[in-house]
């Protein structure tokens, strides 16, 4: 096996420049998937570009305006962030089902999404929350919806040399209820199937009942399926009560 150059840039710009390494380079975050592929000979880059020392890819910011999460943030850091869990419980529920505690200390949010695996635990939750991803490459910065980013198993909208930098999530709907379900052979296994759901129920003056649903299925059939709520179901509670008598 040919030797592989290893680089530890301190900025996104430096990482992007190293990403043009002759013979091909791969960005390395947690490495939980990439290092396995290297050992199996499935990947043969001439250089690895570590993202661990890049401050711009770190940090979690949560406010009334939403959440901003660096792509190099580990799954363990997501689980340890109390305010993120309070405002976005579905993301923490999904993150808590990713691998073992040891894996979660190393695996990153960007790596989990960037693989575009149908069994990526965080993808269904972020689809339900309508996350947007900040990308940066030789052509500059751009922002895309996560549904646009995930094009299929192992396929993303990343252009050559482009890097996933941050994940941005709008404020969750008030009164939302969420659930994350994952089915694997064992608890720490890859998902055979998973489901993320967000439900908003609201009773307004006049006994008007609103229901908004967001559903995302993953792993089943090798795809990630997102079912957005385009029209809210509206039912008059008074009529519903009369029918139930």
pLDDT 10s digits, 102-143: 989 999 999 999 888 777 888 888 988 889 999 999 999 999
**b/e map of 27-43 (b: 16 or more CB within 10 Å)?**
bbbbbbbbeeebeeeeb
Ordered by where they begin, the domains of the chain are 1-54 (3.30.43.10), 176-244 (no CATH)
The token pair at 214 is 């967001």
Q: Quote the pLDDT of residue 226.
A: 55
CB contact set of 105 (below 8 Å; sequence gap of 6+): 74, 75, 76
Residue whose C-alpha is closest to residue 235's, from 226, 244, 223, 224:
244
167 neighbors 65 (Cβ within 8 angstroms): no
Q: Quote the pLDDT of residue 175.
A: 75
The token pair at 27 is 């960005």
Q: Quote the pLDDT of residue 108.
A: 94
Q: Quote the pLDDT of residue 243.
A: 40
Token pair 């252009």: residue: 159
Provide mean pLDDT across the span 19-46.
82
The token pair at 36 is 């396995």
Residue whose C-alpha is closest to residue 128's, from 98, 68, 172, 182:
172
Q: Quote the pLDDT of residue 236.
A: 32
- Residue 159 is given by DSSP the state P
Q: What is the average pLDDT value for the chain, to the nearest integer?
A: 79
Entry field: residues in the chain: 245
């Amino acid at each position: 096996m040919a030797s592989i150059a290893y680089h530890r840039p301190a900025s996104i710009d430096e990482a992007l420049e190293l990403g043009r390494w002759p013979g091909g380079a791969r960005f390395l975050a947690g490495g939980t998937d990439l290092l396995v592929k290297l050992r199996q000979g499935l990947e043969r880059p001439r250089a690895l570009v570590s993202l661990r020392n890049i401050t711009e890819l770190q940090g979690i910011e949560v406010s009334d305006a939403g959440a901003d999460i660096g792509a190099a943030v580990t799954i363990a850091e997501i689980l340890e962030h109390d305010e993120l869990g309070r405002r976005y419980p579905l993301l923490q529920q999904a993150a808590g089902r990713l691998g073992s505690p040891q894996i979660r200390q190393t695996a990153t949010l960007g790596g989990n999404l960037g693989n575009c695996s149908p069994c990526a635990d965080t993808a269904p939750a972020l689809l339900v929350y309508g996350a947007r991803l900040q990308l940066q490459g030789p052509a500059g910065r751009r922002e895309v919806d996560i549904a646009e980013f995930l094009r299929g198993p192992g396929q993303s909208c990343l252009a050559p040399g482009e890097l996933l930098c941050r994940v941005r999530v709008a404020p969750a709907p008030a009164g939302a209820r969420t659930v994350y379900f994952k089915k694997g052979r064992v608890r720490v296994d890859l998902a055979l199937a998973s489901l993320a759901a967000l439900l908003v129920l609201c009773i307004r003056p006049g006994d008007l009942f609103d229901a908004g649903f967001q559903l995302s299925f993953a792993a089943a059939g090798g795809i990630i399926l997102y079912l957005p709520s385009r029209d809210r179901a509206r039912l008059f509670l008074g009529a519903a009560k009369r029918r139930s008598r």
